[in-house]
Chain A
Amino acid sequence: MVENKNAIKRLLTYLGFMGPSLFAFLTVIIIPFLFGIYLTFTNWDGISTQMDLVGFSNYVLVAKDHKFWASIGLTLKYVFFSVVFVNAISFTLAYALSNGIKGQNFFRAGFFLPNLIGGIVLGFIWKFIFSSAFVYLGTTGNIPFLSSSWLADPNKAFWSLVIVTVWQYTGYMMVIYIAGFMNVPKDLLEAASLDGANEWVKLKNVVMPLMVPSIIICTFLTLQRGFMAYDLNLALTGGGPYKSTELVSMFVYGKAFLSQQYGVGQAEAVVLFLLVAGVSFVQVYFSKKMEVEA
């Protein structure tokens, strides 16, 4: 009896603390997620009051939708380049800005600033730069690769997406890397110096292994943001020219709301979810193995 009473009391305490957030988590994340999965088995068009169960036919349509897979391919390419460039550049910047050079804080703030601008605004600013400012420079200064709008060419439009993404996220990742650098114990570095290690050897053999947690976080964040990129895509290229830069989020949105095939769009979103979850899991699993104790 006493045992039982205690258990109930404990449960109530748990619920008291966890209940509200659990409730919010269930209603805002879990239930919509499950309902979303349910919708992939219907032929709902997004508004009508009735829908029928159609089994797996939406997933069959997804498998046959070559435009969707092309969009996934493009997104993978975009994610690859943005992850590599964002991390490489922000790591370098963080390394340069954690050695106590003059004006270090000013530079840190400067590089972080783009991250404070929302994706839509950022997209419009860069749209102006790519389609007007660069073209003006290109035509007056006779620079051939700038003289026509980058956003009118599928390949250049893709790279302009990558450039703006790198510009936006580098500062944020740099802050995480700086925090990582500051946590590298000074005594280890000193010991390495006494053993005759130069800067490069210290970076490679002492700093890098200790930076693995920061690298994991930054890679994960850039991966996830890359896959989910929508606002920048919408404001900068709008998927154009002729749908050649439509990343997968935008494609799925268009499928569900513009083409009014909600079930198919939702099924594509589930496929995207599985892909992102899989990639992130693999990335975290393997990079965790590289972590060391200081």
Chain B
Amino acid sequence: MPIKRILSLAVVLTLTASLFTGCAPKAETTEATDAPAANEPVKITFLNTKGEIQSQLEETVKVFTEANPNITVEVLPASAGQSPFEKVSSMYASGNAPTLSMLDGGDVLKFTDKFADLSSEKWVSDAAKGSLDDMTIDGKVKAFPMTVEGYGLIYNKAVVEKALGTTFDPKSIQTRAQLEDFFKKIKASGTEALVISPMDWSLGAHLLTIGYADQSADTAAINSFIDSMKSGSGKLSSNVAMNGLLDTFDMMKKYNVNGKDPLSSTYEKDAELIGSGNVATWFMGNWAWPNISQFSGTDAEFGFLPIPVSDNASDYGNNSIPVGASKFVSIDTTQNTPEQQAAAKLLLDWFVYDAKGQDMLVNTCNILPAFTNNTLPAKDPMSANLKAYMNEGNIIKFMVTLPSDHWSNAGASMQKYLAGKADRATLLKEIEAYWQSVQ
């Protein structure tokens, strides 16, 4: 049966050959020249790590393809719960790097040798003040600020005003005592005052880092504080802002609706609590709007309150909330062709300058852009409120360039503290130990 023999030989050969195809290394960097995209069809991939806007982003790039018919963009989702860094590094390892990677701030720094230099792009000059600071490495801009986010104590205006029986001025809360007084009044009216979510990312990356950001208005001072933590010379137990933050946190714990079983709640449950008006405030950010509006309707009004760290209204940070560029997009130069890189740059330009692109970002993806030339009003009340804080300058640094495992480790320590399984000394010691283990 020669035919059978030849067939089986062919099968074996193909299988063997297929083993090799994955192994060809392509390490050389091919930096794109700024030549206009040729008319040949180009396919680029865009790794999206904001899972909540996956379908909206797909819709957006479809509109982009209508305007640029030779470029198709495939939006790849990162699974929920997987860190963007894990996803991107595994894609690099498999020789399958996305053209555009959406990453958290700190992760970009790990890939700088693979990402394109974007310093000469037009949008650099239109980026909001400070949004490129963390992404400029050796004078080169390595990432595109995709979105501005911020967080604080979200309040449900209708619920608060009903509980207080009067109009509510969020500016009236700038000290710990004022915040406690506010919680007391709401509680007295029969509504639950506050919900604290137990997720490690919320506690570790957002709540705890207010203590870092409140160190100083000067980024350099915050950086040297972080450096002192790494070297072990910085002590948290004597740090004023950190202790002030934990004093406020202790006070908040008393009013937490999940107080009896603080670790059992979930993001979705807590969004429902505030959205349906059962609780007046929630410690979370503007990304929660889709989850909240499911229960509140899109006409309800929400805004942010600061987390004051002392009883002196004029102390730094007490009237401010953390706001900053939080997701960054970078272009790969090692596994994508110059044509693909040029197409990717075109897409970024389209986001910033094309009227359609601006509109899709703001109104479809519900993103607050980091570019000053985009003056479209924010679509939801929480982003609008963030914009107001930005315009007034009442913002503190959103710590986005911390080491990639900070949220997970610090978050675990904060969970212990929230559950009452660790006292303050233990918490601070664990966080100090974490920083000293950072390499």
List residues of A whose CB falls within 8 A of some B CB: 20, 23-24, 27, 45-49, 131, 135, 148-149, 151-153, 234, 238, 240-243, 254, 257-261
Contacts and interface: CB of A to CB of B under 8 A. Distances in A.
Given A23-B16, A152-B261, A152-B263, A258 B404 contact: yes
Given A257-B85, A258-B408, A152 B264 contact: yes
Given A20-B12, A24-B19, A260-B85, 14 more contacts: A23-B16, A46-B89, A47-B114, A48-B110, A131-B264, A152-B263, A238-B81, A241-B416, A241-B419, A257-B85, A257-B89, A257-B90, A259-B404, A261-B439
A24 B264 CA distance: 47
A58 to B, nearest CB: 12
A149 B264 contact: yes
Contact of B405 (A24, A152, A240, A259): A259
B83 interface: yes
Nearest to A50: B113
13 contacts: A20-B15, A27-B19, A47-B110, A48-B110, A49-B27, A148-B261, A240-B412, A242-B263, A257-B83, A257-B86, A258-B405, A259-B403, A261-B439
A20 B413 CA distance: 51
B412 A258 contact: no
B412 A242 contact: yes
A260 B405 contact: yes
Contact of B260 (A23, A148, A254): A148
A47 B89 contact: yes
B200 interface: yes
B92 interface: yes
B415 A241 contact: yes
B200 A135 contact: no
B55 interface: no
A118 to B, nearest CB: 14
Contacts of B81: 234, 238
Nearest to B199: A240
Closest 3 CB pairs of A and B: A149-B264, A152-B263, A152-B264
B14 to A, nearest CB: 11
Nearest to B23: A27
Contacts of B89: 46-47, 257
Contacts of A260: 85, 110, 404-405
B168 interface: no
Interface in B50-83: 81, 83
A48 B85 CA distance: 13
Contacts of B140: none
Contacts of A148: 260-261, 264
B110 A45 contact: yes
Q: Is chain A's interface secondary structure helix, strand, loop, or mixed overall?
A: loop
A280 to B, nearest CB: 29
B83 A258 contact: yes
A23 B409 CA distance: 42
Nearest to B87: A257
A243 B412 CA distance: 6
A210 B175 CA distance: 76
A164 B244 CA distance: 43
Contacts of A23: 16, 19
Contact of B408 (A27, A135, A254): A254
Nearest to B260: A148
A30 to B, nearest CB: 14
Nearest to B414: A242
B266 interface: yes
A236 to B, nearest CB: 12
B218 to A, nearest CB: 28
A242 B405 contact: no
A195 to B, nearest CB: 57
A152 B198 CA distance: 10
A44 to B, nearest CB: 11
A261 B409 CA distance: 14
A131 B266 contact: yes
Looking at A46, A148, A261, the one whose CB has the most chain B CB atoms below 10 A away is A46
B200 A240 contact: yes
B407 to A, nearest CB: 9
Nearest to A43: B439
Contacts of B262: 152
Contacts of A49: 27, 113
B238 to A, nearest CB: 25
Contacts of A254: 405, 408
B122 interface: no
Interface in B257-301: 260-264, 266
Nearest to B407: A258
B421 A242 contact: yes
Nearest to A257: B86
B405 A48 contact: no
A127 B340 CA distance: 42
B332 to A, nearest CB: 12
B27 A151 contact: no
B415 A240 contact: yes
A207 to B, nearest CB: 45
Nearest to B83: A258
Interface in B327-347: none
Nearest to B261: A148
Looking at A49, A238, A241, A261, the one whose CB has the most chain B CB atoms below 10 A away is A241
Contacts of B439: 261
A64 B383 CA distance: 46
Given A45-B110, A242-B421, A260-B404, A151 B264 contact: yes
